A and B are shown apart, each in its own frame.
Chain A
Amino acid sequence: MGRPVNHDHYPDAYIRAILGEAKVVAMVGASANAVRPSYFVLKYLLDRGYRVHPVNPGLAGQEILGCRVYGSLAAIPEPVDMVDIFRNAEAAAAVVDEALALPTPPKVVWMQLSVRNDEAAARAETAGLKVVMNRCPKIELGRLSSEISWMGVNSRTISAKRAPQLKSGKFQKLGLRQTFEGSD
């Protein structure tokens, strides 16, 4: 293991590796309400080709955007690469412990914008997981692909490399690109 991760500031390379490697995502706290942020993120992750399993005990057995909703992480019938947590910081700790107790724990625990729990993060990191807190995967994918720049948002990246187009062949979908990080 290298240096401990600084949760106040993630290098682009750290986030890019996580989002580039994950294929299957469990979304805890997914909502069926089409104007909630979690719904936006679920739809966007599906659009970009991730397989997403929503987790919400109140909606277990139903579907959101064609995905079957599970009552708990343990109920998902396959191992997941990443758990994306749309719950408050206190509830997030219990979700992390649930993830660590899975027969095949995820490789990544991700807490949404405004959610941060350093004790839970430390437990996950001790168990060898990567942790991201207080970030949104939709925004990070938008930043690192430069898609978010179409909305005038400051991606805080610069690059002389072009973004690859995704294999889907769609016009308005870009892959993750290399960015300049002037390291000291």
Chain B
Amino acid sequence: MENLRELYQQVILDHNKNPRNFRKMEHPDGFAHGNNPLCGDQIDIYLKLKDGVVEDVSFDGNGCAICTSSASMMTVALKGKTEAEAKALFDSFHHALTEDTAYPDDIPLGKLEVLKGVKDYPVRVKCATLAWHTFDAALRKFQGDISTE
């Protein structure tokens, strides 16, 4: 219970109540809809890229506190990252929440570190990773669009 309280206190009190970059985006370069049918979490990720760098990323939707705050923190963490850096951060974050071993090429998670506590609540891991998977899908779509052009 204490762990849980701590996890939520660090994460939700701020980001759940005041999610950052919580807005639709006009004319995004990348867009994907994420859906967690088990709990009804729905999230849209919008993305703008310039010269291979994430210039802007925002989200919209409806989810639990872990989902919302993770999405909010993700948008903050991703801005200014190159596509490759963003992808590496996703891998590192995903690894931290799902694996016991240290990540081989450990990339510092920075503020995302607090979400590692979610690992103790296995059924909630997908709440924390939904935004990231959706971002990944948006990025792939963008990349796919480019490569087919």
A and B from one complex: no
